[in-house]
Chains A and B, each alone.
Chain A
Amino acid sequence: MREVHIEQVTRAVRDLCIRANTELGDDVIAAFHKALEVEESPNGRDILERLIENARIAKDEKIPMCQDTGMAVVYLEAGQEVRFVGGSLEEAIHEGVRQGYAEGYLRKSLCDPITRKNTGDNTPGMIHYRIVPGDACRLTVAPKGGGGENMSQVVMLSPSEGIQGVKRFVVERVNESGGKPCPPIIVGVGIGGTLEKAALLAKQALLRPVGSRNEDLQIEALEKEWLNAVNDLGIGPQGLGGRTTALAVHIGTMPCHIASIPVAVNIQCHSSRHKDIEL
């Protein structure tokens, strides 16, 4: 068994929280530049240019690109031959979130769902574990803001509605969201599984680099078709009208029950933040 000390986990989560919030991925910045080539709206172009500048300022000055520094969504992919030592693994992740949000001057945006009292340190992290073969260990932190999350939805469609029904739901969700989730957005779609698996597929689809191709050619064709449909809505950057409503549609699928088509749409604002590290 390979041993990983939990202090290493805390440290990694802390650093990833800060880096994710201050350094926008090159894939997203490249997508902004690509959008500038097709955007016709003068205000839309102005917004895209300012978003590129915003990312540069955030990185240079090491300040958050957006004031909504989000909930810390943490993915831990742990090899089954890894043993975590030194204390509670889960507490170590929360401690990393606590340290990252305090030391990185990030906003504490979590509260009790009933009393609305702020938890004060942006904990708990929203953790998803996956056990994989081997002794590798990968940590990903993806801060998720409230705007896009509020516009996200899960639905259980009837099989008779078919793939056209899924498309209708996805496009309508983006249409109803309008400018609220800070377009240009990335549309994460989960199709299949159970209610909660569909939601997780949609969220994990957001981790794929923007502009990357789906390995499944049939799904890739759907991603292209739905991206065009979404961009034909005219919502545009910030919802003020334009060609660039979404930078990408990413779809994840898995088998589901013969009686249903679970579909989840997880909307990601243009601050598509995620950083990962191998432990």
Chain B
Amino acid sequence: MPDSPIHLKTPLKTEDLTPLFIGDRVLLSGTIYTGRDAAHHRLVELINGGEPLPLDLEGQVIYYVGPTPPKPGQALGAAGPTSSYRMDAYTPALLEKGLKGMIGKGARNQSVKEGIKKYKAVYFAAIGGAGALISRSIQSAEVIAYPDLGTEAIRKLDVKEFPLIVANDVHGGDLYESGMKEYKR
């Protein structure tokens, strides 16, 4: 069995992330923000234009998710991660603005991996397709920017013990590479 999970609370600081290594299981609590393709496009356009962002990214975590609509009484519907590679083109600019954590699924490209090391950030893998299970970790949800984007709007989520696995750590580790190598025949 893996070691017992590490509890983390947002906002994240470098000293929270240095002890993390790839493969570690984490339970994350606190405020996180959602954002996927369209929201990333807008954020990076603002950065390139030198304009202020609708949220302060310092120490924050972005979750790549496009949830289903909530049923009455739910904070949010099913809310599993989407594939992170589609955000790779935008991520280095956000890391430069202080983003400390990302949650998604699937491997990242070289420039994101270098950014994670340079800015001492972390990339967590959530369980893709476990939308119903993950929705249980979400206590509340509020759209804070780009409501016109519907499921792709930026939402502020309060999460409790969101189950994650460290996929890329501040030390340059990449679980997608080393995990596959370990089990390749």
Interface residues of A (CB under 8 A from B): 40-43, 46-47, 50-51, 53-55, 57-58, 61-69, 105-109, 116, 118, 146-147, 150, 178-180, 182, 232-236, 238-243, 269-271
Contact = CB atoms under 8 A, between A and B. Distances in A.
Interface stretch (B12-20, B50-58, B113-121, B125-133): B125-133
Given A54-B130, A107-B67, A107-B69, A179 B77 contact: no
B66 A107 contact: yes
Given A108-B151, A234-B180, 17 more contacts: A41-B182, A58-B78, A58-B132, A62-B71, A63-B71, A64-B77, A64-B131, A65-B78, A66-B80, A67-B82, A109-B66, A178-B106, A179-B128, A182-B105, A233-B180, A233-B184, A236-B180
A53 B185 CA distance: 30
B176 A65 contact: no
B179 A241 contact: yes
A65 B131 contact: yes
9 contacts: A63-B74, A65-B132, A66-B130, A67-B82, A179-B106, A234-B180, A240-B167, A241-B183, A243-B183
A51 B130 contact: yes
Nearest to A239: B176
B25 A43 contact: yes
B13 to A, nearest CB: 25
B10 interface: no
A116 B181 CA distance: 38
Interface of B: 1-2, 23, 25, 38, 65-71, 74, 77-80, 82-83, 85, 105-107, 125, 127-133, 135-136, 150-151, 163, 165, 167, 175-176, 178-185
Contacts of B38: 116
B66 A67 contact: yes
Contacts of A182: 105, 128-129
Contacts of B135: 63
A1 B81 CA distance: 49
A66 B179 contact: no
B184 A239 contact: no
Contacts of B167: 240
A178 B180 contact: yes
B82 to A, nearest CB: 7
A210 B150 CA distance: 35
A46 B4 CA distance: 12
A240 B77 contact: no
A105 B80 CA distance: 15
A63 B163 CA distance: 19
Which 6 A/B pairs are nearest by Cβ-Cβ distance? A241-B179, A234-B183, A234-B184, A182-B128, A58-B132, A54-B133
Nearest to A62: B71
B78 A66 contact: yes
Nearest to A51: B130
Contacts of B163: 50
A248 B107 CA distance: 23
B130 A179 contact: no
Given A108-B151, A180-B85, A147 B183 contact: no
A42 B125 contact: no
A54 B183 contact: no
B185 A232 contact: yes
B62 to A, nearest CB: 16
Nearest to B184: A234
A232 B184 contact: yes
A233 B184 CA distance: 5
A105 B77 contact: yes
Contacts of B66: 67-68, 107, 109
Given A179-B176, A234-B182, A240 B131 contact: no
